[in-house]
Amino acid sequence: MKRDPALVRLSWDHHHGLVMALRIEREVPGAADEDLKVLYGDLLRFWLAGLRPHFHAENDCLLARLARHAGLADELVTRTTLDHLSMARLVADMKDADGDIERIRNLLLAFGAALRTHIRWEESVLFERVQALFMPVEMAALAADLQDVLPPVEPGVPDSTNP
């Protein structure tokens, strides 16, 4: 199914999330300690500037509407919420690792894998269901809400997830 324009911004964010997940997958296993610290810093900046606001936007704008259709206990609502919380927990675990570089290495790998799996699931399952359930007026309201709560996209500005 073609992606509804209301979801394009979230899909754009997903692209950047997949770039970060790929960086983690490729760089972390053989990274020297100093390189790992740089990647960890990049992830924290990406988390604060992009991923955390993206999760909040999905929760507040998309899942709130989906729950109206499917209910709060629906698998799509609960899986998305639990995935977001799981990744937030991994970030907290990294912050609490107190400089234990091998623990951070393992947590980075877990985060990258979780992020990749989550994004692919949202694109192939969650967004398809949303597009099937939401009426055009709901999609338009979703797009407007996302525009209000997500940071603006600045064309031509380099992405911190791509060295």
- 94 domain residue, yes or no: yes
Residue 144 CA to residue 60 CA, distance in Å, equals 13
User: How many independent structural domains does the chain possess?
Assistant: 1
Contact at 8 Å (CB) between 108 and 43? yes
Domain that holds residue 70: 5-149
Residue 158 lies in a domain: no
In this structure, the dihedral spanned by the alpha carbons of residues 56, 59, 61 and 65, taken in order and rounded to 10 degrees, is 180
**Domain-located, residue 53:** yes
Q: Which of 68, 16, 61, 67 is nearest to 42 (CA)?
A: 16
Residue 163 lies in a domain: no
Give the side-chain half-sphere CA count within 13 A for 128: 8
Return the pLDDT at 75.
95
CATH number of domain containing 138: 1.20.120.520
| C-alpha to C-alpha distances, 97 to 34, 38, 58, 140, nearest whole angstrom | 16, 16, 28, 43
The structure's pTM equals 0.90
Residue 159 forms part of a structural domain = no
For the segment 40-85, what is each residue's pLDDT rounded down to a tens digit? Answer: 999 999 999 999 999 999 999 999 999 999 888 899 999 999 999 9
pLDDT in tens, 127-155: 999 999 999 999 999 999 999 999 877 65
155 belongs to a structural domain = no
Mean pLDDT computed over 98-111: 96
